[in-house]
């Protein structure tokens, strides 16, 4: 059994090096230290990264990447997705990887294939991605408790990745190598586009003269999200409003006022988003038996009409 695997199986802790002290790397490094591991160094290029090392990893030396890798039993690679493959390959070219060393990356998009240059040198490859958004502050540490982490790796070493997740309070979920891109796309679609949707709704409310739109939206959106999550695969049944009611006239009016708002405010993306999501909602409500075909057809017709600023309408 490699030395690093023996270390993970005993009470003694691992020497951990963080490559990329961004929002994710600094927080996970802090969490691993809180679990009893020893942080031997962290790399950070930007001023923000250096500040996170000082704040979240006090006493941990800021080192160059090759030195971090040379000192660590476990190397945590927390770098942007597109930078990961060149980084791993470049370190392999200078002979930085060694047998028995655990190499973990935090990319949601990649599995362990991207770590092949390190594995070829005898390192143990693991992909561990937290399904969480990070602020890069100590507030994130409490959010790791109960957070789900996608764990991918060769079957014999999966328990190492699962154990690391459990140690920092997370819930490991095994995701197959070939499923990582779809897994990551689903998370990005849900989280990032939710932020865009909220921003658009808040902007429209502000234009309607509503003070503190965030406070107005919070109860409604919290209830809607809670209902959708509780419904699981039948989340569409938690949908309320004009689409599941089949109120085509209301939807047509929404398209008109959002178009007017977009022209005045320079935010035509709002009505574009509304139309795309309302079409999807209509089709899903129809498939779920919430709408009759004729009602769904009327909704789709209303959404196909583009309301021009002068009040005229054209079929798109």
Which of these three, 175, 203, 229, is where a domain ends?
A: 175
Query: Within this chain, do residues 123 and 203 fall inside the same structural domain, yes or no?
Result: no
What the block records as the tokens of 279 is 């079409």
Query: Within this chain, do residues 233 and 138 fall inside the same structural domain, yes or no?
Result: no
Query: Within this chain, do residues 142 and 197 fall inside the same structural domain, yes or no?
Result: no
| CA atoms within a 13 Å half-sphere pointing along the CA-CB vector of 309 | 7
Query: Within this chain, do residues 159 and 189 fall inside the same structural domain, yes or no?
Result: no
pLDDT tens, residue order, the chain (316 aa): 344 444 444 444 899 999 999 999 999 999 999 999 999 999 988 899 999 999 999 999 999 999 999 999 999 999 999 999 999 999 999 999 999 999 999 999 999 999 999 999 999 999 999 999 999 999 999 999 999 999 999 999 999 999 999 999 999 999 999 999 999 999 999 999 999 999 999 999 999 999 999 999 999 999 999 999 988 878 898 999 999 999 999 999 999 999 999 999 999 999 999 999 999 999 999 999 999 999 999 999 999 966 554 445 555 4
Partners of residue 305 on adjacent β-strands: 315
Query: Within this chain, do residues 69 and 186 fall inside the same structural domain, yes or no?
Result: no
Task: List Cβ neighbours of 264 (8 Å cut-off, separation of 6 or more).
Answer: 207
Which of these three, 119, 151, 175, is where a domain ends?
A: 175
Query: Within this chain, do residues 8 and 88 fall inside the same structural domain, yes or no?
Result: yes
Query: Within this chain, do residues 107 and 78 fall inside the same structural domain, yes or no?
Result: yes
Query: Within this chain, do residues 129 and 233 fall inside the same structural domain, yes or no?
Result: no
Domain that holds residue 57: 3-175
Give rounded-to-5 percent helix, strand, coil for the chain.
Answer: 60, 15, 30
Burial class (CB in 10 A: 0-12, 13-18, 19+), 51: middle
Q: Read off the CATH number of the domain in which 74 is found.
A: 3.40.50.720
Query: Within this chain, do residues 159 and 208 fall inside the same structural domain, yes or no?
Result: no
Query: Within this chain, do residues 298 and 255 fall inside the same structural domain, yes or no?
Result: yes
Domain count, the chain: 2
């Amino acid at each position: 059994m490699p030395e690093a695997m023996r270390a993970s199986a005993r009470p003694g802790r691992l020497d951990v090096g963080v490559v990329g002290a961004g929002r994710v790397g600094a927080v996970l490094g802090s969490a691993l230290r809180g679990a009893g591991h020893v942080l031997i160094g962290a790399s950070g290029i930007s001023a923000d990264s250096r500040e996170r090392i000082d704040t979240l990893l006090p006493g941990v030396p800021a080192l160059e990447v090759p030195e971090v890798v040379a000192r660590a039993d476990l190397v945590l690679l927390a770098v942007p997705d597109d930078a990961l493959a060149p980084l791993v390959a470049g370190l392999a070219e200078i002979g930085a990887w060694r047998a028995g060393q655990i190499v973990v990356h935090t990319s949601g998009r990649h599995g362990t294939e991207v770590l092949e240059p390190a594995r070829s040198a005898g390192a143990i490859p693991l992909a561990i991605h937290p399904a969480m958004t990070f602020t890069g502050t100590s507030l994130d540490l409490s959010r790791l408790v109960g957070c789900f982490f996608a764990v991918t790796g060769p079957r014999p070493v999966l328990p190492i990745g699962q154990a690391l997740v459990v140690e920092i309070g997370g819930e490991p979920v095994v995701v197959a190598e070939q499923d990582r891109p779809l897994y990551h796309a689903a998370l990005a679609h849900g989280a990032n586009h939710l932020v865009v949707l909220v921003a658009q709704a808040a902007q429209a409310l502000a234009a309607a003269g509503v003070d503190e739109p965030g406070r107005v939206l919070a109860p409604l959106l919290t209830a809607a999200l809670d209902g959708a999550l509780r419904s699981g695969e039948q989340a569409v049944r938690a949908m309320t409003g004009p689409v599941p009611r089949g109120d085509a006239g209301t939807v047509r009016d929404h398209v008109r006022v959002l178009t007017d708002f977009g022209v005045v405010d320079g935010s035509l993306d709002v009505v574009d988003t509304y139309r795309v999501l309302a079409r999807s909602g209509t089709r899903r409500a129809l498939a779920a038996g919430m709408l009759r075909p004729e009602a769904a057809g009327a909704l789709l017709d209303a959404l196909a009409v583009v309301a021009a600023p002068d009040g005229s309408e054209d079929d798109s």
